[in-house]
Chains A and B, each alone.
Chain A
Amino acid sequence: MLILKNLLRRKVRSALSLMGIAIGIGAIVSFNALGQGFRHALDAHMRETGAQLLIINKTVQDPAFSRVLKEEQDFVRSLPAVKNVSVGTFSIAAPRGLKVKTFMPALLVYGRTPGDPLLEKFRANIRGRLIEGEDEIMLGTVAAENLKLEPGETLELFRRTFRVVGVYESSISFERIGAILCNVVLQKELQMGDAASIVFVYLKDTAAWERVKQTVESAYPNLAAIRSEEFTLFYDQFEYIDWYVWIISLVSLMIGGLGVLNTMLMNVSERTREIGTLRAVGWSRGRVLGLILSEGTMLSIAGGLAGLGVGWAAAEGFIRSAPRDFFATRYSPELFAVAMIVALVLGLVGALYPAWQASRLSPIEALKYE
């Protein structure tokens, strides 16, 4: 009762420091939700291929730069445990090279081989038809919408003119915002020779993945064979993103923490007389310490809860205003738990010094304070 009333009494100040915490926690929640959403979408993309293993060149940082040579592809194909492989190429086109006015930040370009299962899977959900020749391209629904293109129209890309032969549906966001053309075109335009960006490996027996992985990686130390569900774990640039997210979050948290510190310090110094009175009627130092700490904790729990809302609203607002399907959010219970724990620790740490100061007040000091 005492705690709440003291906080409510300083409505404006409590609200301000509550906002400080809410913004800090909101930053954690929104950035992490976006990061998690991105990972999740990419993982879904890779899992959907149905491949057990993905082979990439691990000596480069980004999948777009990965090169798996023909010799290496053939080696994998020849392994007895391997049923078949699909070869994929990948690049990211900048919209300014497209000669089309669009607000989409990038066009993901996938190279596939006519007849390959990774291409055939679109046959059921396509307006128009699948690509068959080198000057043909098909677009995901969202990409087509963003570029305002329909089957039959043309698109200039990589200094060539392609005819849009189909617009395909997909449950995978990274496919909806992408375009698919023939592997040989990407290989030619990116001067890849007959290398692939990524090799999708389908095994006869799923359990054999570990053995295949070892065989490939020991034969070609420059390659990595990654289980498709672990794709995002492999790329450590996502870790940099995580670090970046945490640094931003920590800075906002510092501001939140200083807010609590300031609020509680002011509360304590204003309440010298009241705290002295509590001591005078028999409250121990520990009890006074507990009082101020609980006030800080209440403040931070309220701020944390508000922060969950703020973070959710910010992330969802961002997604709604950003081009469709380029970003996604994902909220795990762990994220909310971590955010609340951080808020709590913040409140406790921010209140610790003021609480210690309050507990050192002697009853006499409070009485002469007039």
Chain B
Amino acid sequence: MSDPAVRTVDLVKQYEGGRIHALNGVSVDVARGEFFCIMGPSGSGKSTFLHLVGALDRPTSGEVWLNGRSLSSERDLDTVRAWEVGFIFQLHNLLPALTSAENVEIPMVVSKLRRRERRRRAEELLESVGLSHRRDAVAAKLSGGERQRVAIARALANSPGLILADEPTGDVDSKTGEQIMETLLAVRRQVAATLIVVTHNPRVARDADRVMEMLDGRLRSSGQL
């Protein structure tokens, strides 16, 4: 049980045949239940790092370990994405034609849950993000803040141990952003998940257990703490 939730070892990611160095060797441990915050300028590699940790992509070299298991030995990253990680993107990425509840159900389609059970769980999750009254609204009709809260509920659908959020408040005004962060922190407390947030917002960073800064593909401790 002493394995960290996330361990990266000398993580390197290059794009376009090595012409772009997005990550230049990132080694970091994130403890279970920790709220870990990453800041840093645009283009420094924050999203790339999150994608590798979230099993959305594979590194050029180096390794990602989740709960003591190396992702590079996993043939099938789909199941890692489905069960171990909940991802919240900068742009909510909801399916606009579906309702809030249906969007939350999408990750559960992979599970063995019956339709009715999926539905019930989706409704519970929407309640926990304060959107019970909007569960049958089509995603395209939701406000920016509502969408992001639906995205939070969706990230929690399969009860992952790790939640990753890439600038979740980047696309809304600061008041809405605050509500979103409040929601995120509240539900995280309920499920006791590890949380990694990429943000430009110093107020978000203030609540974090630890803040580090990404610069030119390298992670370093932030002086701001």
Cα–Cα distance between A2 and B102 once the two chains are bound (Å)? 8
Question: Could you list 4 further interchain pairs (A-B, Cβ under 8 angstroms) beyond the known A280-B87, A363-B56, A364-B56?
Answer: A1-B102, A280-B89, A281-B87, A281-B157
Q: Does B9 contact A (CB under 8 A)?
A: no
Q: Does B142 contact A (CB under 8 A)?
A: no
Whether A282 pairs with B93 at a CB distance below 8 angstroms is no
Interface on A for B, CB 8 Å cutoff? 1-2, 5-6, 8-9, 273-274, 277-285, 287, 362-364, 366-367, 370
Cα–Cα distance between A362 and B78 once the two chains are bound (Å)? 11
B158: chain A residues at CB < 8 Å are 282
* Closest residue of B by beta carbon distance from A271: B95
Determine, out of B34-42, B104-112, B188-196, B202-210, the stretch whose residues face the partner at the interface. Answer: B104-112
Interface on B for A, CB 8 Å cutoff? 51, 54, 56-57, 76, 78-79, 81-83, 87, 89, 91, 93-98, 102, 106-107, 109-110, 154, 157-158
B102: chain A residues at CB < 8 Å are 1-2
* Closest residue of B by beta carbon distance from A291: B109
B81: chain A residues at CB < 8 Å are 279-282, 363
* Closest residue of A by beta carbon distance from B111: A282
Of A9, A280, A283, the residue contacting B93 (CB under 8 A) is A280
Cα–Cα distance between A364 and B158 once the two chains are bound (Å)? 21
B94: chain A residues at CB < 8 Å are 277
Of B54, B78, B109, most buried by chain A (CB within 10 Å of CB) is B78
A2: chain B residues at CB < 8 Å are 95, 98, 102, 106
B51: chain A residues at CB < 8 Å are 364, 367
* Closest residue of A by beta carbon distance from B160: A282
Report the tally of A-B residue pairs with Cβ distances under 8 A: 68
Cβ contacts A to B, 24 pairs, < 8 Å:
A9-B97, A274-B93, A274-B95, A274-B96, A277-B89, A277-B94, A280-B54, A280-B81, A281-B81, A281-B82, A281-B106, A282-B79, A282-B83, A282-B158, A283-B110, A284-B110, A287-B109, A287-B110, A362-B57, A363-B57, A364-B56, A364-B57, A367-B89, A367-B93
Q: Is the interface of A mostly helix, strand, loop or mixed?
A: helix
Known: A283-B110, A287-B110, A364-B51. A277 touches B78 (CB 8 A): no
A282: chain B residues at CB < 8 Å are 78-79, 81-83, 107, 110, 158
Whether A370 pairs with B91 at a CB distance below 8 angstroms is yes
Of B56, B97, B98, B109, the residue contacting A283 (CB under 8 A) is B109
* Closest residue of B by beta carbon distance from A274: B95
CB of A215 to closest CB in B, whole Å: 71
B56: chain A residues at CB < 8 Å are 280, 362-364, 367
* Closest residue of A by beta carbon distance from B91: A370
A6: chain B residues at CB < 8 Å are 97
CB of B59 to closest CB in A, whole Å: 12
CB of A157 to closest CB in B, whole Å: 69
CB of A262 to closest CB in B, whole Å: 20
Cα–Cα distance between A370 and B87 once the two chains are bound (Å)? 18
A278: chain B residues at CB < 8 Å are 106
Of A5, A367, A370, the residue contacting B97 (CB under 8 A) is A5
